[in-house]
């Protein structure tokens, strides 16, 4: 079992010290808190900690690492203590790990341990790093020196120490159990994710002039239904993705079939119907996209069981597929196609009502009509919320 020494001085930053101790002990790393003087040590915010031992009784050979918490006047009190400086130099001489957070890296600088080292600290202490090369990052490791920026980075600092003293697997396991957000998640902002999807579909829709913008419109109609049904946020996300990608399989269908001005023959109709299967194959097996497979596969099923590809009936058809089916049919009717001209909104709604209970879920048709009545002159662009 690894063992870590944490010197504690009056005025220490409680969040930093206690968080680091907590994270390390979750990894079954022994942490010994050493006070500079007898008795409890009061933090910067009047939280007292009873140390395990006194600083003058410890020896570097018993430890794998020394970690200094920051805070003021705690850092200055550590920096003024000759025993702390002596321990730091002994740890460095024995090539043991040394950590410091917030203001505490200036104690390492005063002990002449940072020359040429990449290091971070609380921003107002950058000028006191004495030869250290500052990096604006939550945690910076350079050889045996690990530093961190401040209270908000305490968990990440603790996890970095766990990774060095045990393994990355152990650190990742503790991170998951504590529900720590992935530090890389900000790189994939939902807005960027949404823009990539829309750009991809925009490029694909160039193949078919009659369906440009169709996926986005279907998604907007579908989400208006979802809002009316008060679907939870995770379902709204899934509905959006399923609606946006519902016709992806069509882009593997010959253009002369997609844009044929006359009725399709049996062979051509069969090719067209394959788009639900092709679209499914496009996303099946992709991480985090399997959940939209039912929407893509079944959005041409009919309420009475006469649709395709599974001839599902009624509520056997997934809810999202039933929603997209109505949104898709409405948008198709009010848009020009190679084989017919568009109809107006009222005519399209009459068709939906005519076929509710046979082709369409009757309840969802009524909900969709309510949505259009709520906003008859402009569609709400819901897509940018995802």
Mind telling me the catalytic residues? Answer: 102
139-142 vs 41-42, strand pairing mode: unpaired
Rounded-to-integer distance, Cα 138 and Cα 152, Å: 9
Residue partners of 350: CB distance under 8 A and separation at least 6: none
Peptide bond before residue 134 is cis, with ω within 30 degrees of 0? no
Rounded-to-integer distance, Cα 357 and Cα 355, Å: 6
Q: Residue 372: which H helix or E strand, with range?
A: helix 362-374
CA dihedral 281, 283, 285, 290 (to 10 degrees): -120
Q: Residue 331: which H helix or E strand, with range?
A: helix 319-333
Rounded-to-integer distance, Cα 290 and Cα 300, Å: 18
Q: Residue 192: which H helix or E strand, with range?
A: helix 190-205
Token pair 């190679």: residue:
338
Residue 1, burial from CB neighbour count under 10 angstroms (0-12, 13-18, 19+): exposed
CA angle in degrees (0–180, nearest 5) for 42-46-47: 70
Alpha helices, DSSP H only, in 61-167? 74-79, 82-93, 105-110, 154-165
Angle of helix 14-26 relative to helix 168-177, nearest 10 degrees, comes to 110
CA dihedral 145, 146, 150, 153 (to 10 degrees): 180
Beta carbons of 68 and 12 less than 8 angstroms apart = no
329-360 burial: b if 16+ Cβ within 10 Å, else e: bbbbbebeeeeeeeeeeeebbebbeebbeebb
């Amino acid at each position: 079992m690894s063992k870590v020494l944490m010197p504690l001085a009056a005025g220490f930053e409680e969040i930093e010290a206690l968080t680091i101790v907590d994270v390390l002990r979750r990894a079954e790393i022994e942490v010994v808190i050493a006070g500079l003087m007898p008795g409890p040590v009061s933090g910067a915010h009047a939280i007292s900690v009873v140390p395990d031992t006194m600083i003058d009784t410890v020896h570097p050979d018993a430890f794998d690492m020394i970690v200094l918490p920051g805070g003021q006047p705690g850092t200055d009190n550590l920096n003024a203590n000759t025993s702390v400086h002596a321990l730091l130099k002994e740890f460095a001489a024995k090539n043991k790990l040394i950590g410091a957070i917030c203001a505490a890296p200036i104690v390492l600088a005063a002990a002449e341990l940072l020359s040429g080292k990449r290091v971070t600290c609380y921003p107002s202490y950058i000028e006191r790093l004495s030869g250290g090369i500052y990096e604006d990052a939550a945690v910076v490791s350079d050889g045996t020196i690990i530093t961190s920026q401040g209270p908000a980075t305490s968990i990440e600092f603790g996890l970095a120490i766990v990774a060095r003293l045990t393994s990355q697997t152990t650190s990742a396991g503790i991170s998951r159990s504590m529900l720590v957000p992935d530090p890389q998640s900000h790189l994939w902002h939902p807005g960027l994710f949404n823009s990539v999807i829309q750009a991809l579909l925009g490029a694909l829709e160039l193949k078919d002039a009659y369906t440009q913008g169709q996926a986005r419109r279907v998604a907007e109609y579908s989400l208006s239904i979802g809002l009316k049904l008060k679907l939870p946020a995770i379902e709204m996300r899934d509905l959006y993705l399923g609606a946006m990608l519902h016709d992806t399989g069509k882009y593997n269908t010959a253009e002369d079939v997609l844009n044929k001005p006359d009725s399709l023959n049996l062979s051509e109709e069969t090719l067209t119907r394959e788009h639900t299967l092709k679209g499914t194959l496009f996303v099946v097996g992709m991480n985090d996209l399997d959940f939209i497979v039912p929407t893509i596969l079944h959005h041409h099923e009919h309420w009475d069981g006469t649709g395709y590809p599974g001839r599902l009936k009624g509520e056997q058809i997934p809810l999202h597929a039933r929603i997209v089916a109505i949104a898709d049919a409405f948008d198709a009717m009010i848009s020009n196609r190679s084989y017919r001209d568009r109809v107006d909104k009222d005519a399209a709604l009459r068709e939906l009502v005519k076929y509710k209970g046979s082709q369409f879920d009757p309840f969802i048709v009524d909900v969709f009509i309510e949505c259009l009545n709520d906003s008859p002159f402009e569609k709400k662009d819901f897509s940018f919320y995802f």
